A and B are shown apart, each in its own frame.
Chain A
Amino acid sequence: MARAGKPKLAVWKFTSCDGCQLSLLDCEDELLEIAGQVQIAKFVEASSAAIRGPYDLSLVEGSITTPDQAEQIRQVRRQSRALVTIGACATAGGIQALRNFRNVPEFIAAVYARPEYISTLSTSSAIADHVRVDFELRGCPINRHQLLEVIAAFINRRRPALPNYSVCMECKRRGTVCVMVAKKIPCLGPLTHSGCGAICPAYGRGCYGCYGPAQTVNAKALADAWEAAGASKIEMHRVLRSFNANAAEFRSAAETLDENG
């Protein structure tokens, strides 16, 4: 139970697959140690005990897709000294933000026979569209080593030391030969934020952008490179419209491709 002086950690879930919070339970070697350093005050997926706020650090998974959630995230913000979003859902709306580009009643009717029972917003939005966010951890799912760094940083009241270059840099550090150059495999790595360790190219496939946009994005140049690799603009458009479809840079990159046919 509560021991004075230990920082309080809370984990919140909105619309998501639970994969990002599972990353915390996947820290098999560190979990009991973390539990010794912080008080896990609220983590519904792992514990039926809950300790009231305020919390020193709230980790937020998932996007906002219902009116209740839009209200709840404001309450979470009020109770949290620091609020960090974990993953593409919380940071950019997630795969479920594909609804933002389509007709939601039609979507619901495709899944449910009695659509009138289902309450949902027509958009899936990022946490930062609703409240102030202190740090955004990227990825679908997040990288658990980066998560440990974020927790350590916020507990010690410093900024997380995480690079924000592109997946290409991570390939170079890992010594992976560029799959676009060597094998003509279309890859979104140049546009994609680092953090995963450049897994896909190491397994012989192109990056599909699950860590969201890197800081500087030159979509036009990449579209040309994709064409040279034998991939159509339509294919690149589809990849941009996936797990981070609603991230501003990916959204506008997809729109640029639209305009150029």
Chain B
Amino acid sequence: MKTVKTDYLARVEGEGGVRIRFRGDQVRDVQVRIFEPPRLFEAFVRGRSYAEVPDITARICGICPVAYQMSSCAAIEDALGIRLAPEIGELRRLLYCGEWIESHALHVFMLHAPDFLGYPDAIAMAREHREIVLAGLAIKKAGNAIIRAIGGREIHPINPRVGGFHSLPPRSALVELIPELESAHQAAMQALQWLGRLNYPDYEGDYEFVAVDGGDRYPFIGTGLISNRGLNISARDYDAHFEESQVPHSNALHSRLRARGAYVCGPLARFNLHFDKLSEGVREAARRLNLTPPCYNPFKSIIVRGLEIAFALEEAIGLIRRYHDNGDAFIAPPSAASTSTGYGVSEAPRGMLYHRYRVDSAGLIRDAKIVPPTSQNLASIEHDLARVAPRMISLTHAEATRLAEQTVRNYDPCISCATHFLQLTIER
């Protein structure tokens, strides 16, 4: 029996490994093993004030803290019956654009692109592809500049709170970012050409795609979920349609649709379900790369991230132009009369993020549930690996490892989030 094993998946956030076992030419089983130790967030928000939750859940992930803050705030506001002023929703959307730009640029240029070209990392890639690495860093920096201006700092921003923000950033502090965002947009459009020339493995999966319903806009924060197979539900009904199960080889839970099993969330899901809500310029760029929905090739998610970077930069520029700093920074919550439960969904860079909280009349959290995107994609990652694995038989161990890692990285997994990364073992 032959085993292909990567002990540590490099270039993913968090710790995990992959084990693929063969019997002859047949794939016997595939395990994405998550050994990132659990940090037990759902347990320690119990008994804390609702006001502390966005600061605490941000610490689940240093790569996408804004997503955690936004889903937490949305769910708690739902429980407390807070209706946000529209301007606050727009400022949150802008903050979220910053996180998509920063996180996607990190993943596309520093973590995923080296797989396609056979480099161990972006620094090695920069020796021969300096321009593209510099462009990626400049784009990433522009995203971080948005988060810093609104949030106070790039990682674990301090300004968001339940009901809005602690204070509104002055309009001038955002307007002055526009030139940097415009040049990042230009760099992103050029980088798309470069991404279009990479070699894409010829592979398609048969996926159900799930994304937040963004109304008539490309989704960031929302109240419902849709799929390409007829799912159309309110976030309140999440638990009736999805279930999580625990597998012995992983500290991360696997989630499934009760009716149909594995599904995919993230950039490819958003692109396929919401293509018509991207800007005309971004849709045109996609068409020039022969990428139109439905796209079932997960390796092309790197291009979709590139498109979403361009989109988020355009969106950010528009949001800043319309922004005014003369409203209220937040709405104080009405005092809760009784215990109530709230639900929140939003689109983290790597996919849908569901939060649910029960808040009692003293404002304390009684119960919490958090379902990160990586848990949702784990079952599909294992399926993809099982289907790509037969190609590994004729490869050297190093090549097989690279293919396995690239397959996993299509989903930009964040293992820190899901434990709540990767080592490849291939047994032949």
Query: A141's contact among B133, B152, B156, B421, by CB below 8 Å, is which?
Result: B156
Of all chain A residues, the one with the shortest Cβ separation from B368 is: A110
Chain B residues within an 8 Å CB radius of A106:
43
Which listed residue, B62, B122, B126, B246, touches A22 by the CB 8 Å rule?
A: B62
CB-nearest residue of chain A relative to B39? A96
Counting chain B residues whose Cβ lies within 8 A of the other chain, the interface size class is 35 or more
Known contacts A19-B65, A32-B126; decide if A44 and B37 are in contact (CB<8 Å).
no
A197 to B245, CA, bound (A): 43
Cα–Cα, bound, A25→B8 (Å): 20
Task: Indicate which residue in B39, B43, B133 contacts A110 across the interface (CB closer than 8 Å).
Answer: B43
A205: chain B residues within 8 A (beta carbon): 158-159, 161, 166-167
- The answer on a CB contact under 8 Å between A140 and B158 is no
Q: Judge whether A108 and B52 touch: CB under 8 Å.
A: no
**Given the contacts A25-B106, A110-B43, A238-B49, A44 and B8 also touching, CB distance less than 8 Å:** yes
With A112-B246, A141-B156 as given contacts, are A45 and B46 in contact (CB-CB < 8 Å)?
A: no
Contact of B158 among A13, A49, A203 (CB under 8 A): A203
- By a CB distance below 8 angstroms, the chain B residues around A95 are 39, 41, 44, 56, 59
Query: Within 8 Å of chain A (Cβ to Cβ): is B40?
Result: yes
Residue B360 interfacial (CB < 8 Å): no
Nearest residue (CB) in A for B56 is A95
A242 touches B62 (CB 8 A): no
Interface residue? B69 (CB, 8 A): no
CA distance A248 to B205 in the complex (A): 53
Q: What chain A residues lie within 8 Å of B42 (beta carbons)?
A: 110-111
Q: Are B121 and A140 in contact (CB under 8 A)?
A: no
Stretch at the interface among B92-100, B134-142, B380-388: B134-142
Chain-B contact segment, one of A114-122, A150-158, A252-260: A114-122
Q: Which residue of A lies closest to B420 (CB)?
A: A111
Interface size class of A (residues with CB under 8 A): 35 or more
Within 8 A of B (CB), among A87-131: 94-96, 98-99, 102, 106-108, 110-114, 117-120
B120 and A49 form a contact (CB under 8 A): yes
Q: Does A20 contact B (CB under 8 A)?
A: yes
* Complex-state Cα separation, A98 to B51, whole angstroms: 18
User: Per-position contact with A for B340-380: 1 when CB-CB < 8 Å, else 0?
Assistant: 00000000000000000000000000000000000000000
For chain B, residues 280 to 301, give those with C-beta under 8 angstroms from any C-beta of chain A: none
A79 in contact (CB, < 8 A): no
The CA of A199 and the CA of B155, in the complex, are separated in Å by 12
Interface centre among A22, A28, A204, A242 (most CB of B within 10 A): A28
A-B contact pairs, 6 of them (CB 8 A): A47-B124, A110-B43, A112-B253, A114-B246, A199-B158, A205-B158
4 additional A-B pairs beyond A19-B62, A44-B8, A45-B10, beta carbons within 8 Å, are A32-B123, A108-B38, A113-B245, A141-B155
Interface of B toward A, CB cutoff 8 Å:
8, 10-15, 36-44, 46, 48-49, 52, 55-56, 59-63, 65, 106, 110-111, 114, 120-124, 126, 133-134, 137-138, 140-141, 144, 152-156, 158-159, 161, 166-167, 245-246, 248, 251, 253, 329, 405, 414, 416, 420-421
